[in-house]
Amino acid sequence: MRLRPYLLLFPAVVAFGLFAAAFVTFMVVSFQTATPGTVLTHGPATLANYHAVIASPLARSTALDTLRLAGLMTFLTALLGYPLAYVLARSTSRLLRRLVLFGLIVTFLSGGVTRAYAWLIILGNRGLLNQLLVALGLPTVRLAHNETGVVIGVVHFLLPFFVLTLLAALKNIPLSLEESARNLGASRWRVFWHVVLPLSIPGLVSAASLSFAGALSAFLFPELLGGGRVHMASNVIFETILTDFNLPRVAAMAALFLVLALAALALLGLLERRTARLWSGGA
């Protein structure tokens, strides 16, 4: 009887063990040397692959571009997603809530490839948007095969994850707190700024962290909407495998990008604690 709670954890432990084993294997390979002309590796252990990645201008620029674009995507997702989550949590209109929820859920019903090509049809040089601009006598704009198209596609992909994650946090904020503040004469803006936003910070950071992690690992949208001009970490790793077949070098690159991503997520957690302390009036 006492073992039952631990037995329930068994599937999760097995799944985590498989992922951990794959990561450990990848790390071991990153310290080895590639055999020229093959995909085989051999020892002894060396840090040469890490030195080569750190010294590579492409790797450094890719890391900076990935962090910059992921930060921008996360910011835009939060900017669009917070109002939607608040509408779902607080709106008294059942029709409005259903429409917003339907718009979010619909995105899960189509695959990433379908969504990426749909955005190409809309944003392409001869896409629906540019055709509309031409019909109105306005100049066309370049929205695909660049960073703009990638950001739009990834934000659209991340938005449902952000909203549904933040929704749970907003639902847990008692409505009575907002009503009490309103009864004491606070405006809607002051209620939001001093009551809702501080209490939703943990959920907001969790949703932002999930979105940031998804943006960092984005591959499909940069590949299709970027047109080979947008270099994010996943795409550069994929292209390096195809061109060099140097698995140890690619493993080292992936490991360094992972460390960078974990550091960025840890910074988000630190920012959450500092912001919560600031709003609560702590030292």
- CATH, residue 82: 1.10.3720.10
Facing residues of 34 across strands?
A: 41
Per-residue pLDDT, 276? 65
Paired tokens of 40: 């085989």
In a domain, 72, yes or no: yes
Paired tokens of 73: 């995507």
Find, among 147, 157, 159, the residue nearest to 231 by Cα.
147
In the chain, pLDDT over 70 holds for what percent of residues?
93
What is the H or E stretch that residue 1 is in?
none
In a domain, 35, yes or no: no
Q: Are 69 and 146 in contact (CB under 8 A)?
A: no
In a domain, 52, yes or no: no
Tally of domains in the chain: 1
In a domain, 22, yes or no: no
In a domain, 100, yes or no: yes
Distance from C-alpha of 49 to C-alpha of 247, rounded to nearest angstrom: 10
In a domain, 138, yes or no: yes
Paired tokens of 164: 């549904």
In a domain, 13, yes or no: no
Per-residue pLDDT, 282? 45
Paired tokens of 113: 């490839």
Facing residues of 42 across strands?
A: 33
Paired tokens of 22: 């794959």
Per-residue pLDDT, 155? 93
In a domain, 91, yes or no: yes
DSSP states of 39-70 as a string? S-EE-S--SHHHHHHHH-HHHHHHHHHHHHHH
Find, among 57, 1, 28, the residue nearest to 254 by Cα.
28
Could you report the per-residue pLDDT of 30-52, keeping only the tens digit for each?
A: 888 877 766 667 778 788 888 88
200 is in which domain, residue-wise?
A: 58-280
Low-confidence ranges of the chain (pLDDT < 50): 1, 282-283
Per-residue pLDDT, 79? 94
